[in-house]
């Protein structure tokens, strides 16, 4: 009897284990079809992978194995509990090996998380050269002077970047890499030298770093903390009051919210890691802001072109209370109104009316995106008041700097070729200009557009360039100046007469 009891118990155990194993094998399919357990979607950008489909089967795909690989990829991407499994894998890598699995994110010393592009920008790996910033600064000064004559103000705000703020917390692999000149380093000094209105919150944050009672940057986020954003609002409003006039209310930190946990976006990097663990607590504070009351009709109208740092201000209603109108042009692409709602696209607006209807124009940029500066908003301003005066090579160079995928490709190509990024961007811009000139020659008839094309032709024609070099040495002139003089002579004495003759026909 005892043996039978033991045998029965053993058999039941085997059956139970078999059923448990079978259930484990079936659970992903059950979860996929019925969502037995709630699923927390993964954060970040993911390509949508279609469901497995036998209708895609064909003979060629079966023979070369592409069908089998496609089916494997589709099954893995659509399996039940996939979100849980990805988070579990990421959590194990983080907890056991201090590794993070998120595109563009690195973990530095003391558990500090960075978007790596902020580090690269700070280190100077995205430096586009001094000449680009000299040109932009000169054009911004011209715009600022024109706006001032119309009773309006222009302000460039350098937002803080985590690269400048925490260089001592970079990952160890940056310890032996020398810091080069960054776009921020170069541009802020040139703007100041030209007399352009600049508010450097990047430097301000570094100065406040040791004395601030709460974190100015969350360990788990890429943007300024809400407390840091409040300090930035106060500093910005004080600067604008001095710059433009008194009808900007003072801001007061009324109290701190009794907020349990971490408020978004203080956790934006942590969420992108797709872990199981909740966001760790930090020395963060969430201020309640109060503004002095001013008559609505006396408030100024503000237009801001900038990046995602502005959204913290919008979340706290800072600009809503301070200005009569405060539209935000996110990346100079989408329009966000005073109430914090996306209302349309900048491409559908009358640019002239939008600018002329404002009292203050503000450009905000963080360190990571300085090479993208203003996403062409500054050049639109310049073209509004000084049409058709932008160098065509700079037009295409600016376009390459703005398009982030294109820009990163040029960064990699410059490094691989052992040339400066400035040189690589100029080469790309010259190619694009040449290509466009071949397709649309009628666009290039003015002095401003043709002389750069003729100069480019001289530089890229060896025999012609040698003759110009000889003339430069003979006259004791710099080569670039001699190239410009020759290009100007050709434009005036050859191109223009031919153009006029063509028009007469």
Residue with tokens 């209370």: 321
- CA dist 16 and 419 (Å) reads 67
Q: Are 101 and 82 in contact (CB under 8 A)?
A: no
CA 333 to chain centre: 12
Three-class SS of residue 454?
Answer: helix
CA dihedral 210, 213, 216, 220 (to 10 degrees): 110
Could you give the CA distance from residue 161 to residue 183 in angstroms, rounded to a whole number?
A: 12
**Angstrom distance (rounded) from CA 317 to CA 321:** 6
Q: Where are the beta strands (DSSP E) in 296-412?
A: 301-306, 325-330, 334-336, 342-345, 360-365
Residue 119 and residue 166: Cα distance in Å, rounded?
9
Q: From start to end of 192-316, where are the E strands?
A: 198-200, 251-256, 287-291, 301-306
**CA distance linking residue 351 with residue 374, whole number of Å:** 15
Between the CA of residue 353 and those of 201, 298, 350, 384, 390, what are the distances in Å? 30, 20, 5, 11, 22
Residues 6+ apart with CB under 8 A from 118: 161, 162, 163, 222, 367, 368
Helix spans in 128-179 (H): 130-149, 162-165
Please give the structure tokens belonging to residue 299.
Answer: 């408030």
Q: Which helix (H) or strand (E) holds 95?
A: helix 82-97
Length reported for the chain: 505
Task: Supply the DSSP symbol for 277.
Answer: S
Task: Give the model's pLDDT for residue 385.
Answer: 98
User: Integer distance in angstroms from the first to the last C-alpha of the chain?
Assistant: 118
Alpha carbons 85 and 40: distance in angstroms, whole number = 11
pLDDT of residue 463: 94
Q: What residues contact residue 148 under an 8 Å CB cut-off, 6+ apart?
A: 154
Give CA separation, 244 vs 251, 359, 365, in Å: 17, 8, 21
For the four alpha carbons of 152, 234, 199 and 164, in that order, the dihedral sign comes to: negative
Burial of 208 (0-12, 13-18, 19+ CB in 10 A): middle
| Ranges of the chain with pLDDT below 70 | 1-9, 23-39, 44-55, 57, 62, 67-68, 71-81, 505
Provide the 3-class DSSP secondary structure of residue 379.
Answer: helix
pLDDT on residue 403: 92
pLDDT at residue 1 in the model? 46
Q: Model's pTM, two decimal places?
A: 0.85
Distance CA 59, CA 64 (A): 9
- Can you tell me whether residue 299 is helix, strand or coil? coil
* Domain extents in the chain: 51-80, 109-387, 445-504
DSSP string, 324-351: SEEEEEETTTEEE-TTS-EEEEGGGS-H
Longest C-alpha distance within the chain, in Å? 119
Q: Residue 342: what pLDDT?
A: 94
Residue 265: asked if its preceding bond is cis (omega within 30°), the reply is: yes
Report the alpha-carbon distance of residue 433 to residue 447 in Å, rounded. Answer: 15
Say if CB 199 and CB 239 are below 8 A apart.
yes
């Amino acid at each position: 009897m005892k043996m039978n009891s033991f045998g029965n118990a053993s058999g039941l155990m085997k059956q139970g284990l078999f059923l448990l194993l079978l259930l484990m094998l079936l659970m992903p399919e059950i979860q996929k079809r019925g969502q037995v357990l709630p699923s927390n979607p993964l954060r970040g950008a993911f390509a949508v992978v279609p469901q497995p489909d036998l209708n895609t089967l064909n003979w060629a795909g079966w023979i070369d194995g592409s069908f089998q690989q496609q089916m494997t990829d589709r099954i893995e991407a659509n399996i039940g509990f996939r979100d849980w499994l990805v988070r579990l894998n990421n959590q194990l890598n983080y907890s056991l090996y201090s590794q993070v699995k998120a595109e563009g994110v690195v973990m530095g010393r003391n558990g500090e998380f960075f978007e790596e592009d902020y580090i690269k920008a700070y280190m100077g790996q995205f430096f586009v050269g001094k000449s680009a910033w000299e040109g932009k600064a000169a054009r911004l000064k011209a715009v600022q002077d024109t706006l001032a004559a119309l009773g309006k103000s222009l302000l460039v705000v350098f937002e803080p970047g985590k690269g400048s703020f925490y260089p001592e917390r970079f990952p160890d692999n940056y310890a032996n890499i020398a810091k080069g000149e960054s776009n921020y380093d170069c541009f802020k000094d040139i703007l100041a030298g030209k007399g352009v209105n600049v508010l450097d919150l990047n430097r301000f944050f570094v100065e406040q770093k040791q004395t601030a009672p709460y974190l100015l940057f969350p360990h788990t986020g890429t943007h300024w903390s809400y407390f840091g954003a409040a300090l930035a609002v106060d500093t910005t409003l004080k600067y604008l009051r001095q710059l433009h006039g008194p009808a900007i209310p003072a801001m007061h930190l009324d109290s701190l919210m009794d907020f349990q946990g971490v408020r978004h976006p203080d956790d934006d990097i942590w969420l992108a890691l797709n872990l199981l663990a909740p966001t760790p607590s930090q020395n963060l504070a969430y201020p309640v802001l109060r503004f002095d009351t001013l008559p609505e009709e006396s408030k100024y109208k503000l237009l801001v072109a900038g990046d995602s740092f502005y959204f913290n201000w919008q979340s706290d209603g800072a600009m809503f209370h301070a200005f009569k109108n405060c539209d935000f042009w996110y990346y100079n692409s989408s329009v966000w109104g005073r109430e914090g709602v996306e209302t349309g696209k900048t491409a559908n607006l009358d640019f002239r009316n939008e600018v002329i209807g404002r009292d203050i124009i503000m450009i905000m940029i963080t360190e990571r995106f300085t090479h993208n500066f203003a996403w062409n908003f500054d050049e639109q301003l310049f073209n509004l008041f000084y049409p058709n005066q932008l160098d065509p090579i700079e037009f295409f160079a600016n376009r390459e700097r703005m398009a982030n995928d294109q820009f990163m490709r040029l960064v990699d190509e410059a490094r691989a070729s052992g040339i400066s990024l400035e040189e690589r961007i100029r080469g790309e811009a010259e190619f694009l200009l040449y290509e466009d000139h071949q397709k649309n020659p009628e666009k290039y008839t003015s002095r401003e557009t043709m002389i750069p094309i003729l100069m480019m032709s001289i530089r890229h024609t060896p025999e012609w360039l040698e003759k110009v070099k000889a003339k430069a040495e003979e006259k004791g002139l710099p080569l670039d100046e001699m190239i410009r003089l020759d290009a100007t002579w050709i434009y005036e004495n050859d191109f223009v007469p031919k153009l006029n003759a063509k028009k007469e026909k």
